[in-house]
């Protein structure tokens, strides 16, 4: 067991004084200490005086150490390394320790300032790099449909056969639509990220907005081997800005469709109503993909993208922004073993307004 410093000082000092008293008593037996009564009184009084003097001397000696320890603990707990320890003495060992600790705190503070500056610069350059990459990507993708349309127009202008004109139109129309949809989505993302608008809330049927967003996503990315399933557990409409919420669902659906691999993949949509909190929790999940744990904490950051050469890194950042504007929460979970990704988000219920199922939902991609 470790003893406090004042006890380490007090105990040997007190024992030494007690030994001195006994020696005095033993050596003075022929004088005043020849009377046992006088010896007892002397021992008692001397012991009390000695104990009091040793105790308070040790306390006073260690009081500044304790106060210094308290200040250091506060600095460490608050991580405020710009503070310094003040001392009432000068030139002794305690003041020397305080000066050394102050010098160490100053070095830690300066080191933290430099680290913050480095991180700030790195973040700024990362943002510049992301913006430059996004700009190049937008320029490239915007040029694609125009180049494609220019080539198609040239072929159409040099074709006199009506049947061949129809065949060419059918052949290239899907590619043009997909490219235009991709560019349109990208432009919407860029316009959305820096804009603050007032929400235009109204009661919306979850089925309706799910189907509109799902149709938009499949129109942009054609995949015929995706099965869609539903598990909708709600009775009320949601009180949201329908157009802005459509951006959220479309972005998540598009990410899921792009990420899914394998001969057959499944996309599922779930809802769970909680009337005690007046929220509806949505879940959009997909099989055939996985997001590592180190990426989950960053997927909602602007310009952060993985495994997508044509992604802006803005879609999920916008989704988080819109959900938070609705005073909801959004998060993502992923399982490496199951190869699944699930996005969850909460939205406010339109209290007292029962849901009107304006759109039919079915378990297949082709419905």
What is the residue extent of each domain of the chain? 5-80, 138-193, 202-354
Q: Please state at what angle helix 5-27 crosses helix 36-78, rounded to 10 degrees.
A: 170
> Would you state the pLDDT for residue 89?
60
Q: CATH code for 202-354? A: 3.30.565.10
Which two structure tokens, joined as six digits, stand for 337? 């073993």
> Would you state the pLDDT for residue 359?
46
- pTM value > 0.75: no
Q: How far apart are CA 144 and CA 157, in angstroms?
A: 20
For every residue of 69-109, DSSP letters joined together read HHHHHHHHHHT-TT-----S--SSHHHHHHHHHHHHHHHHH
Helix (H, G, I), strand (E, B) or coil at 233: strand
Q: How far apart are CA 247 and CA 242, in angstroms?
A: 9
Helix (H, G, I), strand (E, B) or coil at 210: helix
Residue at token pair 């700024």: 124
> Would you state the pLDDT for residue 101?
75
Sites in the chain below the pLDDT cut of 70 = 1-15, 17-18, 20-43, 54, 57-62, 64, 78-94, 123, 126-127, 129-145, 148, 174-175, 178-179, 181-183, 185-186, 188-197, 222-224, 302-313, 357-367
Pair 234, 203: CB distance under 8 Å: no
> Would you state the pLDDT for residue 186?
63
- Name residues whose C-beta falls within 8 Å of residue 80's C-beta, 6 or more positions apart in sequence: none
């Amino acid at each position: 067991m470790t003893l406090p410093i004042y006890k380490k000082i007090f105990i040997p000092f007190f024992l030494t004084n007690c030994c001195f008293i006994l020696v005095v008593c033993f050596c003075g037996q022929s004088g005043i200490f020849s009377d046992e009564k006088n010896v007892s009184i002397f021992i008692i009084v001397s012991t009390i005086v000695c104990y009091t003097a040793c105790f308070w001397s040790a306390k006073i000696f260690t009081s500044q150490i304790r106060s210094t320890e308290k200040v250091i603990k506060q600095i460490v707990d608050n991580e405020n390394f710009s503070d310094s320890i003040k001392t009432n003495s000068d030139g002794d060992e305690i003041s020397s320790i305080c000066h050394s600790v102050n010098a160490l705190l100053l070095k830690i503070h300066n080191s933290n300032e430099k680290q913050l500056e480095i991180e700030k610069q790195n973040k700024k350059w990362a943002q510049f790099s992301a913006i430059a990459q996004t700009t190049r990507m937008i320029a490239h993708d915007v040029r694609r449909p125009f180049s494609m349309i220019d080539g198609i127009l040239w072929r159409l202008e040099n074709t006199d056969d009506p049947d061949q004109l129809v065949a060419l139109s059918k052949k290239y129309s899907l590619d043009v639509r997909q490219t235009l949809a991709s560019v349109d989505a990208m432009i919407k993302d860029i316009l959305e990220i820096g804009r603050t608008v007032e929400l235009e809330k109204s009661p919306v049927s979850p089925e309706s907005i799910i189907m509109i967003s799902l149709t938009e996503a499949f129109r942009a990315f054609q995949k015929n081997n995706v099965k869609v399933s539903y598990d909708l557990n709600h009775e009320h409409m949601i009180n949201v800005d329908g157009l802005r919420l459509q951006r959220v669902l479309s972005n998540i659906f598009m990410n899921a469709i792009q990420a899914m691999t394998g001969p057959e993949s499944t996309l599922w949509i779930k809802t769970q109503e909680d009337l005690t909190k007046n929220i509806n929790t949505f879940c959009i999940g997909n099989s055939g993909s996985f997001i590592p744990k180190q990426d989950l904490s960053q997927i909602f950051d602007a310009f952060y993208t993985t495994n997508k050469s044509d992604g802006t890194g803005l879609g999920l950042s916008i989704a988080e922004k819109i959900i938070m504007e609705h005073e909801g929460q959004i998060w993502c979970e992923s399982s490496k073993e199951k190869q699944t990704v699930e996005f969850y988000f909460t939205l406010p219920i339109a209290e007292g307004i029962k849901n009107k199922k304006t759109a039919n939902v079915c378990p297949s991609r082709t419905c």
